[in-house]
Structure 1
Amino acid sequence: MHKKALNILIAPDKFKGSLGAVAVAEAIARGMHKQHRAHHIVRQPMADGGDGSIDLLAQLGQLTQHTTQVNDPLFRPIEAVYYTQDDTAFIEMAKASGLALLAKQERNCLNTTSLGTGELILDAIRQGFRKINLFIGGSATNDAAIGIAQALGYQFLDQDQQVLAPIGGNLERIASLKKNEESPDIDEVKFQVVCDVNNPFFGESGAAHVYAPQKGANAAEVAQLDQGLRNIHEVFRAAGLPNIQDLPGAGAAGGIGGGMVAMFGARLVSGIDLFIDWFGLEAKVQQADVVITGEGQLDEQSVQGKVIGGVAQLCKKHQKPLIVVCGQNTLSAAARQRAQIREVKAIMEYAPSVEEAMGRAAEFLETIGEAIEVNVE
Structure 2
Amino acid sequence: MTRVLLAPDKFKGTLTAAEVAAHLTTGLRSVLPDVDVRVVPVADGGDGTLAAAQAAGFTRMPVTATGPTGLPHESAFGQRGTEAVVELAEVSGLAQLPDGHPQPLTATSRGTGELVAAALDSGARRIVVGIGGSACTDGGAGLLQALGARITTASGEPVGPGGAGLAQAARLDLDGLHPALADAELVVACDVDNPLTGARGAAAVYGPQKGAAPQDVEALDRALARWADLVAAATGEDHRDDPGAGAAGGVGFGLVAVLGARTRPGADLVFELTGLHDALAEADLVVTGEGSLDAQTLHGKAPAAVAAAARDRDLPVVAVAGRVALTAGELAAAGVGAAYALVDEAGDPREPFEAPGPLLERIGARIAREHLGAGC
TM-score, length-normalised on structure 2? 0.89
Q: What is the CA-CA distance between 1:246 and the residue it aligns to?
A: 3.9
* Cα distance change of structure 1 residues 351 and 171 upon mapping to structure 2, 3 Å threshold: farther
Q: What residue in structure 1 maps to residue 63 of structure 2? A: 68
Q: What is the CA-CA distance between 1:228 and the residue it aligns to?
A: 2.6
* Cα distance change of structure 1 residues 355 and 253 upon mapping to structure 2, 3 Å threshold: farther
Whichever residue aligns with residue 358 of structure 2, its letter is E
Distance in 1 (CA, whole Å) between partners of 2:335 and 2:125 is: 41
Question: Does 2:341 align with 1:346?
Answer: yes
Question: Does 2:201 align with 1:206?
Answer: yes
Aligned partners of 1:150 and 1:166 also within 8 Å: no
Question: Does 2:19 align with 1:23?
Answer: yes
Q: How many residues align?
A: 370
Q: Which moved more, 1:360-369 or 1:70-79?
A: 70-79
Question: Does 2:289 align with 1:294?
Answer: yes
Residue aligned with 1:173, SS? coil
Whichever residue aligns with residue 201 of structure 1, its letter is L
Q: Which moved more, 1:214-223 or 1:137-146?
A: 214-223
Question: Does 2:181 align with 1:194?
Answer: no
Q: Which moved more, 1:7-16 or 1:125-134?
A: 125-134
* Cα distance change of structure 1 residues 276 and 71 upon mapping to structure 2, 3 Å threshold: closer
* Cα distance change of structure 1 residues 22 and 247 upon mapping to structure 2, 3 Å threshold: same
Question: Does 2:315 align with 1:320?
Answer: yes
Whichever residue aligns with residue 220 of structure 1, its letter is Q
Residue aligned with 2:288, SS? strand
Uncovered stretches (5+) of structure 2, i.e. residues with no partner: none
Aligned partners of 1:292 and 1:322 also within 8 Å: yes
* Cα distance change of structure 1 residues 318 and 151 upon mapping to structure 2, 3 Å threshold: same
- Spell out, residue by residue over 1:86-111, the C-alpha distance to the aligned partner (whole angstroms, 9 max, x if none): 22332222232222121356312211
Q: What residue in structure 1 maps to residue 127 of structure 2? A: 132
Aligned partners of 2:4 and 2:286 also within 8 Å: yes
Distance in 2 (CA, whole Å) between partners of 1:123 and 1:7 is: 39
Distance in 1 (CA, whole Å) between partners of 2:119 and 2:273 is: 22
Identity over aligned pairs, percent: 36
* Cα distance change of structure 1 residues 280 and 96 upon mapping to structure 2, 3 Å threshold: closer
Q: What is the CA-CA distance between 1:346 and the residue it aligns to?
A: 0.8
Aligned partners of 1:303 and 1:312 also within 8 Å: no
Q: What is the CA-CA distance between 1:144 and the residue it aligns to?
A: 1.0
Root-mean-square deviation (Å): 2.4
Uncovered stretches (5+) of structure 1, i.e. residues with no partner: none
Q: What is the CA-CA distance between 1:159 and the residue it aligns to?
A: 4.6
Aligned partners of 1:72 and 1:96 also within 8 Å: yes
Distance in 1 (CA, whole Å) between partners of 2:118 and 2:270 is: 25
Residue aligned with 1:112, SS? coil
Residue aligned with 1:305, SS? coil
* Cα distance change of structure 1 residues 90 and 16 upon mapping to structure 2, 3 Å threshold: same
Question: Does 2:178 align with 1:184?
Answer: yes
TM-score, length-normalised on structure 1? 0.89
Aligned partners of 1:300 and 1:332 also within 8 Å: no
Q: Which moved more, 1:250-259 or 1:208-217?
A: 208-217
Distance in 2 (CA, whole Å) between partners of 1:231 and 1:274 is: 32
Q: What is the CA-CA distance between 1:37 and the residue it aligns to?
A: 4.4
Aligned partners of 1:142 and 1:208 also within 8 Å: yes
Q: What residue in structure 1 maps to residue 113 of structure 2? A: 118
* Cα distance change of structure 1 residues 88 and 8 upon mapping to structure 2, 3 Å threshold: closer
* Cα distance change of structure 1 residues 375 and 123 upon mapping to structure 2, 3 Å threshold: closer
